[in-house]
Amino acid sequence: MKSAYELAMERLAKSDPDAAKPLSAEQKNRLAELDKVYQGKIAEREIFLRQKLDAALAEGNADEADQIRQQISSEKARLEEDREAEKDAVRRGK
């Protein structure tokens, strides 16, 4: 008798047959490269915006500091979404 988990995994495999394909060495290398590139982009934006945040805090401008904090969060989320979209394309072989 199969567990609910096993049945769910079978249904998932049937609904997305590409998910079960093993990745080639080239795809794995490309995924690792994408991670490095996007980690660099995230770090670059975070450093730049943290400098702006420090300047705003030094001036005592709390509103601008809050906006910069929100910008850091939104840009980090956007870059992570871009990275995942590119990684999905690599996984699909495009």
d(Cα 12, Cα 88) in Å, to the nearest integer? 17
Instruction: Report pLDDT for 34.
Output: 96
Other Cβ atoms within 10 Å of 53 Cβ, number: 19
Ordered by start, the domain boundaries in the chain are 39-94
Where the chain has pLDDT below 50, the residues are: none
Q: Residue 22's pLDDT is what?
A: 82
The answer, as to whether pTM is greater than 0.75, is no
pLDDT given for residue 3 in this prediction? 86
- CA 56 vs CA 38, 51, 64, 66, 92: distances in Å: 27, 9, 6, 9, 44
| CA pair distance 90, 33, nearest whole angstrom | 11
Q: What is the pLDDT of residue 16?
A: 66
